[in-house]
Copies of this chain bind each other. A is one copy, B any other.
Amino acid sequence: MGLIIQKFGGTSLGDAEKIHRAARRAIRAKLEGNEVVVVVSAMGGSTDTLVDLAYQITDRPNRREMDQLLATGEQVSIALMAMSIHHAGHDAISLTGGQIGLRTDRTFGRARIREITQRGRIISLLKDGSIVIAAGFQGVDAGANITTLGRGGSDTTAVALAASLGADVCEIYTDVDGVYSTDPRIVPEARKLDYIFYDEMLELSSLGAQVMHSRSIELGKNYGVRIHVRSSYTDAKGTDIVKEWSDFDQVIVRGAALKRNLARVELTNVPHQPGIAGEVFTRVAERNVIVDDIIQVVHEGGNTADISFTIEAPEIEAAQALCDEMAVEMPGMTPEIKPHRAKVSVVGVGMRTHTGVASRMFESLHQADVNIENISTSEIVISCVIREADGERALRAVHAAFELEPS
């Protein structure tokens, strides 16, 4: 007997049959003696339809009205899901973001959750025997305006509800059957993980793993919510995302990731004056270009330095304009943008207590004939910037080097 949150994304709710299938999962958990809260996204495709409607009206839809519009998507899903559970002879009640009292700030389009005010109502409905169907992705601000949470919002709602209600587990149903040691489309030997720590999952998300949005993992970490990622289509156990514990298996690297579509910006012979690096990155930020993997090397003598960093490919144009500007302002400085770059990374909290991880990674890349252009490390991540053409080979090499295949 426990309290379970089950979250179903849009692809798990694409049509009546899929809705019935999700409903059966919820009912089964209920019949096994649990209290069940189901969190749903908008039906697959329906958000696109709504966005399309808005852009038929105007090319610059107001954000508040966009949220008012988009929130109907989940409201449709919750009603249909409740009907499906009724159809199977069980009690269910649907609640919008406003009805669960999911209070947010007023940042329309990517609101942050403040609190869940209707916890008492939800608990009382559960005690009465209902399966509670809550709309993901949406909330209300203090003025009763409807807000939406942005990308991965339904996951965030599910984890927030799990935290608020003290759920035993927050199950995320998706179209993959768990978190893998790396992308199985590139590395067929990739292994489904039984568990992964929050920090590792956070790093893998930011390195391009699509499983869950980092905001919901962060929330799960802060409130110690056990998140279980699993398939909508099978009964196989998925992957637990959990609080860190002493890992007796001595796993050093949990997973490896490949991020593509990067470019490397190199600024050579930048005048080395106090504050110059700060100024460069302020101006980059002003153009909304997100940078990563920053390296600065001061030349002998200390008068000039080389600065390099990675950007995402769609931002090359903006970066080029800025480089041209700076080249004029800083005589002697040579900017260069190298497109078609990728980044291969390994992630694992075990690195904190183990040495030799970096060298093992570099060695494996070397053996695979992959040239490393740039290295950046954090406490639990080592990343190498490489040529995009080498990406998949690099990922396979690293994955093998850390013995991430099924044992």
Contact = CB atoms under 8 A, between A and B. Distances in A.
A98 B75 CA distance: 14
Interface residues of A, number: 38
Given A72-B72, A98-B98, A62 B80 contact: no
Interface string A51-76: 00110111011101110110110011
Contact of A83 (B20, B61, B72): B61
Given A53-B80, A98-B144, A99-B144, A75 B86 contact: no
A144 B144 CA distance: 12
A94 B65 contact: yes
Contacts of A71: 75
A93 interface: yes
B82 A65 contact: yes
Contacts of A93: 64
A50 B71 CA distance: 15
A84 B144 CA distance: 22
B62 A86 contact: yes
B87 A57 contact: yes
A87 B56 CA distance: 11
Interface in A72-105: 72, 75-76, 78-80, 82-84, 86-87, 93-94, 96, 98-99
Given A20-B57, A56-B16, A98-B98, A76 B80 contact: no
B65 A72 contact: no
Contacts of A201: none
B83 A58 contact: yes
Contact of A84 (B15, B57, B60, B79): B57
A57 B75 contact: no
Contacts of A19: 57
A86 B65 contact: yes
Contacts of A87: 57-58, 60
A99 B144 CA distance: 7
A87 B61 CA distance: 8
A69 B133 CA distance: 13
A75 B72 contact: yes
A17 to B, nearest CB: 9
A83 B65 contact: yes
Given A82-B62, A83-B62, A86-B62, A68 B57 contact: no
Nearest to A88: B58
Contacts of A69: 75-76, 79-80, 83
A100 B146 CA distance: 13
Contacts of A62: 82-83, 86
A94 B108 CA distance: 14
A65 B53 contact: no
Contacts of A146: 96
A76 B53 contact: yes
25 contacts: A16-B53, A16-B57, A50-B76, A53-B76, A53-B80, A54-B80, A54-B83, A57-B80, A57-B84, A58-B83, A58-B84, A58-B86, A58-B87, A60-B87, A61-B86, A65-B79, A65-B83, A66-B83, A68-B79, A68-B94, A72-B76, A75-B75, A98-B98, A98-B144, A99-B145
Interface of A: 15-16, 19-20, 50, 53-54, 56-58, 60-62, 64-66, 68-69, 71-72, 75-76, 78-80, 82-84, 86-87, 93-94, 96, 98-99, 144-146
For the complex of A and B, list the 6 residue pairs with the smallest distance between their C-beta atoms, beginning with the closest: A69-B79, A72-B72, A58-B87, A16-B56, A68-B79, A65-B79
